[in-house]
Amino acid sequence: MTRRSKSTPEPTSTRLLAYVRVSTQQQVDDGFSLAGQKAELQKWAAYQNLPLDENLIFEDAGISGRHNLRPGLEAMLSTLKPGDTVATYALSRLARGGAMQTLALVERIHDAGARIVFLKEQIDTTSPYGRIMLVVLSEIALLEIEQMRERSEMGRLQAANEGRIPLGSSSRPYGLEIDDDGYPVWDEERARTIRRLFDLRNQKLSLRAVAKALEEEGHPTRRGKKASWESGVVHLILRNPVYKGELIYRQDRERIVIPVPPLVSPEDWQRAQGGYAGQRSHVNPEKFPLTGHLVCTCGSALVGQFAPRAKAHYTPHLYYACLPEVRHTEHCPTNGKRRRLWRTDELERAYVEALAALLENPHDPLRIQAAFGAPLPEDPHVQERQDVNAMLEELLDLRLKGQVTRAAYERQFEILSDRLKRLNAPAPLPIRAPDVPDLSHLAQLVRGAKGRDLAEFLDELGVVGQARGESRGLSRSRDLPRPEITVEIIDFQPLA
């Protein structure tokens, strides 16, 4: 009879796993391309006499290293066994979020009984020296990213203050170009189109009729003469003050008016803003009072639309949408989709409560700035809140695609939501409450206003809000917990 041992040790793996990543900003042919990383990893594996199976090369294409939830990374982590070796070309390929993010990922790999090697930095994290170098290099990498972002933002603000246009060709208004020094000039052909568009509108034509006339006369759209004109695009052009000589540039809480050569007089521009019977839903203040006072999390203006009805007898939902023709990019940066939707009832309720809270709180930074023109205190958690919101939205998207289990989704959702609540604590301000005008009576008016009355009230206050979270009922997984819909008031002007 053969005696069994009391415990059988778990077999140790000798596999080599590789992780490669490239963001959308990387050039295809530079040293960090997917093919380039794979080639370097193959060379290293051959030198170490370790076989590298193609099925064990995990990749994330077009995903930022600041995001924790990446399909390729999650797939690699879930397949780790004791004794495995993970190789990646450089520290920046694994993480871009600083030492905390990098060390958290390394700990997950170590907890699985595996080790990780960074080829470029020649770091093996199983040694104390390797772990120290890992912390130092990850912080240096994060510092470089932050410095590059700050320099870029400072350069754009400086350009705007000097009257130059800090926008790329896809972000500039229709017809607006820049000269060699960055100053605004108009494309002559499209300038004629703009003048004709305002002329038609001031003849009391509907948006649809204006679009049809421009198409029949052969005026080019942003995509050229072959593309058709849409009434929604006509509306956006009419509402843009750049055509009367004012380009509004916003960055964080900065608002700069850049003067440009006007194509129409202020009187003609204002006359073109008048309403008419039968206009498109997204310019109807009765149904969409937040239009013109609401932006997406990505910063693009939201417009009102009717949701398509599933059946003929169903009542269509109204919603605010982030659309490609408004933001001038194919996909919304916050969720990677062409459209991002919010139900009007949910979003308007959150908007009204956020504005009422602002009016009732004399210590709110925006109230202080509106009352005294005082500089806003620095909020150290702005970037971290944006990162957590992006992670919540990415987590929901991964669940809808079936790439994470429901249990994992709910566990991570609870962790991130709790973290977000702690980051939303208001910062103390040094100004005493009696110094700030009492606007609590306006809060009551805001809560009671509906439709056109609410739209006019927002016009008077000069309010702009930014939408966050997700609407229920607009996805195939309605029962999933998801980020609560909130609105952050990002611009507020005192009543005259």
- List, as one string, the DSSP characters of 4-70: PPS-PPPPPP--EEEEEEE-TTS-TTSTTSHHHHHHHHHHHHHHTT----GGGEEEEES--TT-S--
Greatest alpha-carbon pair distance for the chain in Å reads: 103
How many angstroms separate the Cα of 474 from the Cα of each of 67, 89, 317, 480? 25, 41, 10, 12
Q: Judge contact between 490 and 355, C-beta under 8 A.
A: no
- List, as one string, the DSSP characters of 145-175: HHHHHHHHHHHHHHHHHTT-----TTTSPTT
Q: Judge contact between 356 and 447, C-beta under 8 A.
A: yes
d(CA 435, CA 429): 12
- Catalytic annotation on 475? no
Q: If DSSP codes are grouped into helix, strand and coil, which group holds residue 316?
A: coil
Q: Which of 13, 23, 206, 281 is catalytic?
A: 23
How many angstroms separate the Cα of 391 from the Cα of each of 70, 101, 158, 388? 10, 13, 32, 5
d(CA 302, CA 299): 9
Amino acid (one-letter) located at 9: P
How many angstroms separate the Cα of 73 from the Cα of each of 90, 299, 320? 15, 29, 34
| CB neighbour list of residue 112: distance below 8 Å, 6 or more residues apart | 77, 80, 81, 82, 84
In sign, the C-alpha dihedral spanning 304, 307, 308, 311 is negative
| CB neighbour list of residue 54: distance below 8 Å, 6 or more residues apart | none
> E strands, 245-347, where?
246-251, 254-259, 294-295, 303-306, 318-322, 340-343
Residues marked as catalytic: 23
